[in-house]
Amino acid sequence: ETGVTQTPRHLVMGMTNKKSLKCEQHLGHNAMYWYKQSAKKPLELMFVYSLEERVENNSVPSRFSPECPNSSHLFLHLHTLQPEDSALYLCASSQSPYRVGNQPQHFGDGTRLSIL
Amino acid sequence: DAKTTQPNSMESNEEEPVHLPCNHSTISGTDYIHWYRQLPSQGPEYVIHGLTSNVNNRMASLAIAEDRKSSTLILHRATLRDAAVYYCILNGGGADGLTFGKGTHLIIQP
């Protein structure tokens, strides 16, 4: 039990489908993150939210749309994805991203996404 | 975040200590040294972090060189469940998230 729960664990979708990934943290943290982990590549930061406000967007294509309705929940809405978007999508949380760098991030186990 | 350098892979025997090295010669004064590990089919797991002094917790120990240009993660008694990819990351705070490299793939032999 990591304190960060992601659903679904696996998702297969066509390029024209619309789906959403969900992340929930039970740690009382104020910052949440989306990362992408492609095969044989390091984790890449996609989005950062602090107190439900987006503070970082690492040039992610608009077919990925994040939403943070409150400090415990984070969504990643997907539409018109490409085969190269197949990857493990990881959610993480931390106390706050703006403090000094002594705050660990806590990760969920990810959603394995496959685009047909 | 500044760059770190780690060996691609290491192998050790079960129940023996493991020393995982990390070089970070361009570390700045405000960067904390973090270690995470990722087991197969799981997300990264926080292991330990430190700034200048050596640190111990229930999972591992972190030894930091006096000039802070390198550090070593120490697993005192490796088990098969410690087989994972270990990432050494510098965290200077801010909104940049964590910058992961390729890490060290630790193999534990029974």
For B20, residues 6+ apart whose C-beta sits below 8 A from its C-beta are B6, B10, B35, B72, B73, B74, B75, B86, B88, B104, B106
Residue A1: predicted pLDDT: 53
Gap from A37 CA to chain B (nearest CA, Å): 10
Residue B7: predicted pLDDT: 97
**Choosing among B8, B98, B105, which should be mutated to test the A contact, i.e. which has the most A CBs within 10 A?**
B98
Report the mean per-residue pLDDT for chain B. 94
Q: What confidence tens digit (pLDDT) does each residue in B22-75 have?
A: 999 999 998 999 999 999 889 999 999 999 999 999 999 999 999 999 999 999
Gap from A79 CA to chain B (nearest CA, Å): 24
Give mean pLDDT, residues A92-98: 84
For B44, residues 6+ apart whose C-beta sits below 8 A from its C-beta are A43, A90, A92, A105, A107, B36, B37, B38, B87, B100
Contacts of B95 in chain A (CB under 8 A): 48, 50, 55-56, 97-98
Q: What confidence tens digit (pLDDT) does each residue in B62-105 have?
A: 999 999 999 999 999 999 999 999 999 999 887 777 889 999 99
Q: What confidence tens digit (pLDDT) does each residue in A32-64 have?
A: 999 999 987 889 999 999 887 887 777 899 999
Report the mean per-residue pLDDT for chain A. 91
